[in-house]
Structure 1
Amino acid sequence: MLKWGGTLLAAAAVVATAGLAHAETRVTYKSAKTSSSYYQMGVQIAEAIKAGTDGDIIVTVEESQGSVQNVMEVRGRGADYVFTTPPALVGLAQAGKGAFEGKTSPKFADIRALFPIPSLTMHFVVSKNSGITDFAGMEGKSILLGKGSFGAREGEKYLKLFGLEGKIDLAEVELSNAVPALKNGQIDGFVTSGSYPAPNVVEAAASTDVTILSLSEEQIAKTKRAKLVIPAGTYAGQDTDVETTSLPVVAYATAAMDEATAYELTKTFWEQKAKMSETAPWWKGVNKALMSNITTKLHPGAVKYYKEAGFELSESQM
């Protein structure tokens, strides 16, 4: 009986151990509106994490109304919460400024970065027929800014910064109609933001001859945005690198997440990035250079991976 009982106990221990080995870790990934490219990225990350961990980590993507909401929800979320936002918003939350004035929380100090995702990249697209080769050349031309989007607000800001306010014919065309309007000569150019290669810029470059304007180092400095280089060949007819600006976006967790989960999420993201790039080219824009945009602390689990993988980290990130 003792032997039989011992066998049963041993068998039970094996089953219990096997159950632990295959236990799932569930993570919620708060992204953006379902209609946005960032929600699509969230879905792609979820699929990549599931594949890369053999289902040990399951990511559920949640719709969001915006980056401010994502940060705000840190106050009521737990260890399984991952969200995306520009690094600047994390800094504002931790300082109790801007949209977070009067809404501070001790939990904001526990926000920890995991990895960068594609940046919102400014594109200034003009037709070759317009003769525009730089920002000054847009004076007197018909340019579409769109309304309400980050790209529209940023584009309007740049016109003011570079002395073009009131000197451009702002086209009354919806951004969704930018490509046909450019092709038929209704407008000379349009401004858009999106992770490169941006679908509407790909379409424009494929359907007509376009120039994507570069900003000078002085202009980039004036915008106070992060510099980003769109490599030559990203778009049809683009023979040289384009220097422009971007709004970095990063995936964050909090210190409540255990080190092992943060490590696996970060490691799997970078290991699966090349595969994601095969079906969604915007992942090609994510590289080690984007790590410098992370201005707050990384999660200790992420730090562990980055050290193993030979990434150079700043003191403020660790």
Structure 2
Amino acid sequence: MKNNMIVLALGLCASLVASSALAETRITYKSAKTGSSYYQMGVQLAEAMKAGTNGDIIVTVEESQGSVQNVMEAKARGGDYVFTTPPALIGLAQSGKAMFEGKGDPKFDEIRALFPIPSLTMHFVMSADSGVTDFAGMEGKTILLGKGSFGASEGEKYLKLFGLEGKVNLAEVELSNAVPALKNGQIDGFVTAGSWPAPNVIEAAASADVVVLSMSDEQIAQSKRSKLVIPAGTYGGQDADITTTSLPVAAFTTTAMSDDAAYELTKTFWESKAAMAEDAPWWKGVDAGLMANINTKLHPGAIRYYNEVGVELTAEQQ
């Protein structure tokens, strides 16, 4: 009897230790600059993870300067690191191309996807006072692109594609100051990429009369991005649909994360998504259909969850 009691006590202690270890699981989630929609998404995810796991997983949101930085840090971070980026950047990092040329690292091959999040949506926001209603009208105007973000690099690309390179004045102002700079006339417009509705665009439309430019089908074809329509009424004073472009985004980690942690993160995300959508409409556009946009390997823990719920995965995701 005494031996049985000792075994029982040891088993109980082991169970408590395991429970304690799970309760202390902490994740660092790196997404975007504070004030951006993607940072706010990170805050929502952190709250959802805490609630969905009864506090077993605690997520700390960390400010980022952009997707490239997020990917670069994957080579130095541990198993507690989750970050967001367009899946296309993972392929570039693993092949050492474009912005990752000369910066390749074997650690990039260990990056694994977890789940999709709202797509990056391009917004070209102009003040009504500027008189600009199309891209040609941007010539001679002062535009804020920002620095180091997808929106900045994509905005610069579009200016070249649409024949505006060297024809607009680029403001040396941080994107976080875009709305006050627009309001006081320091700039005529700004470019931002985020989910829609984008908080800084909502703020701009609420504090000043603005026009969010639409792209033609020809311009969308030139961009080689996906077409996206922002419905009329999304922003203050917006009476018509806005036709623009988008880029898929997903949450990633590395093989250093345990299978159980990756499983719980993925499971809790999908089970919490409906509740998050009640507070923020950008989550309504995320469904299993976006899984097709992830063209990289998924984490084994995430794969376990998708197999359980019957989500069909591609060969390259497994």
Matched, 1:106 2:106: yes
Structure number with bigger Rg: 1
Alpha-carbon spacing, 1:187–1:315, altered in 2? closer, same or farther (3 Å): same
Q: Is the 8 A contact 2:262 2:299 kept in 1?
A: yes
Structure 2 equivalent of residue 75 of structure 1 = 75
Comparing 8-17 and 181-190, the one that deviates more: 181-190
- Quote the Cα distance in structure 1 between the aligned partners of 2:91 and 2:197: 28
Matched, 1:28 2:27: yes
Structure 2 equivalent of residue 230 of structure 1 = 230
Secondary structure at the aligned position of 2:74 is classed as helix
Q: Is the 8 A contact 1:294 1:317 kept in 2?
A: yes
RMSD of equivalent CA atoms: 3.4
Deviation, 1:294, is: 1.7
- Quote the Cα distance in structure 1 between the aligned partners of 2:259 and 2:106: 20
Structure 2 equivalent of residue 292 of structure 1 = 292
- Quote the Cα distance in structure 2 between the aligned partners of 1:271 and 1:98: 36
- Quote the Cα distance in structure 2 between the aligned partners of 1:236 and 1:269: 31
Alpha-carbon spacing, 1:145–1:195, altered in 2? closer, same or farther (3 Å): same
Secondary structure at the aligned position of 2:121 is classed as strand
Alpha-carbon spacing, 1:14–1:167, altered in 2? closer, same or farther (3 Å): closer
Comparing 204-213 and 194-203, the one that deviates more: 204-213
Alpha-carbon spacing, 1:289–1:234, altered in 2? closer, same or farther (3 Å): farther
The amino acid of 1:31's aligned partner reads: K
Q: How does 1:161-200 map to 2 (within 5 A)?
A: 161-165=161-165, 170=169, 174=173, 178-179=178-179, 189-200=189-200
Q: How does 1:1-318 map to 2 (within 5 A)?
A: 3-24=1-22, 26-32=25-31, 35=34, 37=36, 38-127=38-127, 132-136=132-136, 138=137, 142-148=141-147, 150=149, 151-165=151-165, 170=169, 174=173, 178-179=178-179, 189-318=189-318
Alpha-carbon spacing, 1:48–1:300, altered in 2? closer, same or farther (3 Å): same
The amino acid of 1:17's aligned partner reads: S
Alpha-carbon spacing, 1:221–1:104, altered in 2? closer, same or farther (3 Å): same
TM-score scaled by length of structure 2: 0.80
Alpha-carbon spacing, 1:125–1:306, altered in 2? closer, same or farther (3 Å): same
- Quote the Cα distance in structure 2 between the aligned partners of 1:225 and 1:55: 39
Secondary structure at the aligned position of 1:221 is classed as helix
Q: Is the 8 A contact 1:117 1:250 kept in 2?
A: yes
Comparing 224-233 and 173-182, the one that deviates more: 173-182
Alpha-carbon spacing, 1:241–1:147, altered in 2? closer, same or farther (3 Å): same
The amino acid of 2:8's aligned partner reads: A
Identity across the alignment (%): 65
The amino acid of 1:52's aligned partner reads: G
The amino acid of 2:315's aligned partner reads: E
Deviation, 1:33, is: 6.4
- Quote the Cα distance in structure 1 between the aligned partners of 2:5 and 2:16: 17
Q: Is the 8 A contact 1:145 1:156 kept in 2?
A: no
TM-score scaled by length of structure 1: 0.80
The amino acid of 2:265's aligned partner reads: L
- Quote the Cα distance in structure 2 between the aligned partners of 1:262 and 1:96: 26
- Quote the Cα distance in structure 2 between the aligned partners of 1:79 and 1:210: 44
Q: Deviations over 1:111-166 (max 9, x none)?
A: 11011233432112245576654334x25563523443543443333222112345
- Quote the Cα distance in structure 2 between the aligned partners of 1:176 and 1:19: 44
Deviation, 1:12, is: 3.8
- Quote the Cα distance in structure 2 between the aligned partners of 1:23 and 1:134: 56
Consecutive unaligned residues of structure 1, counting only runs of 5 or more, are none
Deviation, 1:30, is: 4.5
Q: Is the 8 A contact 1:30 1:64 kept in 2?
A: no
Q: Is the 8 A contact 2:119 2:194 kept in 1?
A: yes
